[in-house]
Structures are given as structure tokens and as C-alpha cells.
Amino acid sequence: MRGHAQHALLQREAGGVLLGRHLLDSNNLVVDEVTVPQKGDRRSRFGFFRSKKHNALAQAKWAASQGTTAYLGLWHTHPESDPTPSYVDRDDWSKAVAMDSFYGEELFFPIVGTERIRVWTKSRCGPIQELAELRSGA
């Protein structure tokens, strides 16, 4: 994800889907893979819209893993050092939790800035909450 951070002035937002595993007998999960920008994504300096190709990739990974690879959330970049979710981001996250099929009670939403990655989560019944902030190199 860091490889897509918007360091250059004309670099467009990037994003994808988080794929991984829920660890048995714990509340922990592991992100094993992320999808990267795909042909058909709509990308601009201040916007990103995922194409259906991301869903197809996630479903293929799930099938190939015999159902052990899970959809864990969505990531994207912002052209700022300390990323903050926009109204569009928050609305997208709420729709994902309400409409997408996923295992567990919550999805995760990292935003990759130029210096920090911040992560939010939204449960099926709760508000959007910031989970963590990662500084460059962490």
C-alpha cells in the first residue's frame, strides 16, 4: 500500500481490498494480501472508485483458499501527510459494512498518507472509530 502513496504532485489516488484471515480462538486477524489499482478503477488526485475487478479478485482468492481467505476491508490513499477520512470515505465505509458480505462484525479502512497510515474500523452496529496510526517505517 505504501508503494502507492501520493508523493508526486500529479499522482492519483489508489486503493483496493484487504484480504486475510481471522485467527481462531482470538480476536486477531492477519492481512495477507491487498488488491492494487486495477484497470477500470476511476482515479483522480482527490478521488478513487474501485472497479468490480477487486470483487472478482477477492472472490477468486476466497475460492482458491477453500474459504479461508476473508474480505477484511478497503484501503486507499490520500495526498496528505496525515490522512483524514472525507465525508465520501465515511459514506463508502458505512455502505460497505451494510451491503457487503463478510465474516465477523467489522471491516477495516486504512488510509495511506504520505507520512502516516491511519486505520479506521466500522462494526455492523457501531460508529466509525479510529483504530491505529502507523508512521512511515513502522
Phi, psi of 132 (to 5 degrees): -160, 160
Measured torsion, CA atoms of residues 131, 48, 136, 55, in degrees rounded to the nearest 10: 70
Is 13 in the active site?
yes
- Catalytic residue of the set 13, 33, 80, 106: 13
Listed residue (59, 43, 48, 52) closest to 101, CA to CA: 59
Query: Which residues are 135's β-sheet partners?
Result: 116
Q: For residue 118, count other CB atoms closer than 10 A to its CB.
A: 19
Distance in angstroms (rounded) separating the CA atoms of residues 37 and 88: 19
Q: Which single residue is written with the C-alpha cell 486495477?
A: 38
What residues act catalytically? 13
